[in-house]
Structure 1
Amino acid sequence: MASANGWKCLSRPSRRLLVPLFPAPSSSSPTAAFSTSLPRRAGPPKPPEGGSSRHVRIGKQLSLGSKKNRQPDKFKPPLPGERKAFRKRIQLSNNNALEVPGLEELTAENIVDFNSVGKVARLSDAVIDGLRAVEAFKPTQTWNLFRSPHTLIRHETVDLVRQLSDAISKQETLRLVITGDRACGKSMLGLQALAAGLMNQWVVINIPEAQELTTQATEYSTIPHSEQYSQPMYIIKLFQAIDKANHHILSGFRVELDHIHLPVTVARGSSLSSLLTVTREPEFAWPVFQAFWKELTLPGRPPILFTLDGLSHIMRVSDYRSPAFELIHSHDLSLVRLYTDAIGGVTRFPNGAAIVGVCTKGNAMLNPSMDKALEQAAAAQAGLPPPPRDPFFAKYDQRVFDSLQTVKVLKVRGVTKPEARSLMEYWAASGILRLRVDEKTVSEKWTLAGSGILGEMERVALYDMRMP
């Protein structure tokens, strides 16, 4: 039987049971004692009386650091032309690269020998100076990875130089266009042609970037009593390049004509080299260049090698405008007209000449007229009927067809596997390529490069070593 104390314990309320499950609502916010909804969060604090809100204060802080009140950075701005010089800088040697012993020097004999195909040859100092003077080296090429400039003698190299030599030896004019896929080595073939001209003592004239003549990159002016336009500053720059690369040749020939119409005095009997330096005035540049061109095409003068890189830029309407604000065709620019007359067969060269145009694919716009003209010229060269023009395309440029309808076309493709192996062995000997050069490695890189495209081979093999 339960005692009285036991019943008291059972009847006494527990203190734990007296604790409410939910806190009692405050008097300031009367709510129900029990609710199934979530409790409301506290609202944003009210701004203090007499002061600004939080958003206004943050806006003032942001305004203090805005561009309007920011202090200018303390650095020296680049000088005029400094950015372009840095972008176009060319480094032809690297002391950190290994020197490859046993390299054969490029000469006028081995560059036309088919037994030299697949060999890497080094350029002599005299040829390097001449190529640098005519701006044959490109900033996109990997010259800065190796000890000294080198070049691979390809089958196309021997074929091209043989055509140049045969035409000049017969005192004929070779008019040739180098075309092909992107990064297949077209500019390098143009460089090898210029090297052959320097080694054979030809007068070398090179226009390294044709887009500088047509994209409003240089000054221009009208030529009195003519429909053409002159670019005097570029012509003066071309004077300096021609004289620096061919000074030892031009100094041995004398002026034979009386140029009494020139605004400057040209003494008869002076050297052709002095004719290039007779003036530095822009308004006299084109008349002096015409006089130099007449002297250079007289009988008994040395052969001429005239090359241009970026042919598609001069086969269109330029970005310049006439005084009537009409677009000027590129063939109405005097220096471009001089080249198109030469490659079109209008100009006669009694001492033999080679006019070479290199097509660029990297920064060229679509040019249906040039593509169709080269396609017809290649078909005529192969003895096939020329393909007809598209009857539904009405914007063909007849002036382009007149300039390119009788030229020879050299189609450049990728290098062969033996040529690729020779080039990769040179890379490995220079310490640039850290792979074992065997049949498997060569086949792998050759295939990844799209059947031996030179630019793609450098990309897949030397990607880690290329400088930004």
Structure 2
Amino acid sequence: MASSICLRCLRRSLQSIESSHRAAFSTSASFSAAAPPKKQGAPGGTGARPPAAGERKALRKRIVLSNTNALQVEGLEDFTGDKLVRHEPGTVTLDKFRGQVLGLDDETVDALRALESFKSTQAWSLFRRPATLIRAETAQLANQLANAEGDGKEVSRMVIYGSPGSSRGSGKSVMLLQAHAMAFLKDWLVVHFPEAQDLTNAHTAYQPVTTPTGTIYIQTHYTAKLLANIARANQKLLSGLQLSQQHRLPIPVQANISLSRFVELGAQDPDLAWPIWQALWLELTTPSQSESKDGLQRPPVLVTMDGVDQAMRSSAYLDSETNPIHAHDLALPRHFMNLLSGQTKLPNGGMVLAATCDSNRAAASTMDHCLARISAIQNNAQPPHWDPFVAKDAKVEAALKDVQALKLPGLSKTEARGVMEYYARSGMFRHTVTEGMVSEKWTLAGSGIIGELERATIRARF
């Protein structure tokens, strides 16, 4: 009896403990937190709106040209027109500024922005204001620009490329920007194709047009955008020029309309863009009649294309039989290639520049071979032989037949020191610039590749 009572008491005590243990960890429904109500039209009820059309692309390509946290560089000279004056045969004043950084004034910056010369991958946003290093190749371009204004109206046609394996970040796009700045300072008209890839990747509308030489494909919306860039960047120059010829256009146009207003008509309506583009080039390639103000005057023209390797092969567009369309059968790339090869003349002088892109390199074996051959001939070396097992692109070979090739090397140590001192004076490089420091960074940057030098100094802090 005693043992049974003890077991019964023990069982009751265990039940009371278990029930109290469960109660301590129970949760009443009245104290539960209610889920927040979903907002109408918001995916998943988070309240975040989907990005608008083109918003991601605009953010990715957003260009910032000023950093208020950077120091103002005292004594920074501007890149002005008087530095491009020829002071003796074969040289211009800009030669004296090699290895120095010069600032770009507001008017030039506005024109360069309208032309889309700045790249989002460049380090403009780290400094107080845009400035650029004057290197040996910059002075070389300045001399060629001066030759184009001489009595002979020389027209330089050149492809800028880098050394194999170290060409990324060598400054090819900045060389085009410097050429744009010099042309604006000289009152030239500047036309720039910011990315050849945008012409060949099948992301814009196109349509066939029959010409006496065959079928070409026009891109009306891209042409309208290009005309808008030209109108904004060259507004001051085009406002002082008038239409001088009668052109067959879809709409009536005032006889003495300014070229600025004429170009804007094409920028506003893609259906008018292509005929207005053709008429504009007829106007620009009309020879100036005399040096007097009464005669017809037309300025020299600078035409440039970045990432030209994308236009040296078949494009992503398809013809009516679903065959790839060669990039040179697209109207705008063909127009540029005709200028680059010299088939289309610039009677009032000018320059045609193309630059390859190694950040998004396209396979263009014929272009690579042609550039290597041209470079070898320029340096009195043995030209390379063509690989017989690789098909040669006759259209690309014809476009590069009579051009110059400028291989862009790394900076010299003097130029590297100049740009590092500018970094230090801006507060972006917090070290004393000594000969040892310059040699160290120059070596780590692959013998002065400016993109790597930038990465090893100012970008290493972020």
Name the TM tier (shorter chain): 0.7 to 0.9
Relative to structure 1, is the Cα distance of residues 105 and 199 closer, same or farther in structure 2, using a 3 angstrom cutoff?
same
- Deviation by residue 1:195-253 (Cα, 9 ceiling, x = unmatched): 00000000000011110000112221222555111111111111111111111111212
**Which of 55, 64, 73 is the aligned partner of 1:82?**
55
Secondary structure, counterpart of 1:176 in structure 2: strand
Q: CA deviation at 1:384?
A: 4.4
Contact 2:410 2:449 (C-alpha < 8 Å) held by counterparts: yes
Please report how far the alpha carbon of residue 257 of structure 1 lies from its aligned counterpart in structure 2 after TM superposition.
Answer: 1.0
Map of 1:273 onto structure 2: 260
Alignment-derived partner of residue 24 in structure 2: none
2:71 is matched with which residue?
98
Aligned position for 1:312? 309
1:327 maps onto 2:324 in alignment: yes
Residue aligning to 1:413? 409
Q: 1:172 corresponds to which residue?
A: 154
Alpha-carbon displacement from aligned partner over 1:92-117 (angstroms, at most 9, x marks no partner) = 00111110110111123435432110
Alignment of 1:133-148 (within 5 A): 133-148=114-129
What amino acid does structure 2 have at the position aligned with 1:412?
L
| Change in CA separation of 1:190 and 1:312 when aligned onto 2, cut-off 3 Å | same
Is it true that 1:115 corresponds to 2:96 in the alignment? yes
Alpha-carbon distance between aligned partners in 1 of 2:155 and 2:201, rounded to the nearest angstrom: 30
Q: Does 1:370 align with 2:367?
A: yes
User: What residue in structure 1 maps to residue 433 of structure 2?
Assistant: 437
Q: Structure 1 residues 71 and 91, CA, compared in 2 at 3 Å: closer, same or farther?
A: closer
Contact 1:207-1:307 within 8 A present in 2 as well: yes
Structure 1: runs of 5+ lacking an equivalent: 1-69
- Following superposition, the deviation at residue 341 of structure 1 comes to 0.4
| Maintained 8 Å contact 1:123/1:149 | yes
- 1:129 aligns with one of 100, 110, 114: 110
Q: 1:267 and 1:423, CA in 2 relative to 1: closer, same or farther beyond 3 A? A: same
Q: Distance in 1 between matches of 2:178 and 2:420?
A: 20
Q: TM-score under structure 1 normalisation?
A: 0.82
Matched-pair contact (CA < 8 Å) for 2:312–2:327: yes
Verify the 8 A CA contact 2:100 2:133 in the aligned structure 1.
Answer: yes
Q: State the shift of 1:324 in Å.
A: 1.7
C-alpha displacement at 1:73, in angstroms? 3.3
- 2:249 pairs, out of 262, 268, 275, with 262
Please identify runs of 4+ aligned residues in structure 1 that moved more than 6 A: none
> Could you tell which deviates more after superposition, 428-437 or 266-275?
266-275
Bigger fraction of residues in helix = 2
Query: Aligned residue for 2:178?
Result: 192
Q: 2:276 aligns with which of 271, 283, 288?
A: 288
Question: Of 235, 249, 254, which aligns to 2:223?
Answer: 235
- Partners of 1:243 and 1:276 within 8 A in 2: yes
1:383 Cα offset (Å): 4.1
Alignment partners' CA distance in 2, 1:166 and 1:71:
64
Shift of 1:164: 2.3
Q: Whole-Å Cα distance in 1 between the matches of residues 372 and 460 of structure 2? A: 39
Percent pairwise identity: 44
* Whole-angstrom CA distance in 2 between matches of 1:311 and 1:465: 33
Query: What is the DSSP-based 3-state SS (H/G/I as helix, E as strand, rest coil) of the residue aligned with 1:227?
Result: strand
What is the DSSP-based 3-state SS (H/G/I as helix, E as strand, rest coil) of the residue aligned with 1:228? strand
Alignment partners' CA distance in 2, 1:115 and 1:219: 48
In the alignment, structure 1 residue 204 sits paired with structure 2 residue 200: no
Q: Which region of structure 1 is more displaced relative to structure 2, 341-350 or 225-234?
A: 225-234
- CA deviations 1:338-379 (Å, max 9, x no partner) are 000000110011101200001111101221100011122223
Question: Structure 2: which amino acid aligns with 1:187?
Answer: S
Deviations 1:382-418 (A, max 9, x none): 344543311222x110100000021011111111111
Which ranges in structure 2 are unaligned for 5 or more consecutive residues?
A: 1-42, 85-91, 289-297
Superposition deviation, residue 71 in structure 1:
4.0
State the structure with more CA Rg. Answer: 1
Conserved in 1, the CA contact under 8 Å of 2:71 and 2:127?
yes
Change (3 A) 1:71 1:288: closer
| Paired residues of 1:190 and 1:307 also in contact (CA < 8 A) | yes
- Deviation, structure 1 residue 172: 2.2
Say whether the 8 Å CA contact 2:265–2:272 is kept in structure 1. no
CA contact (8 A) 1:145 1:465 kept: no
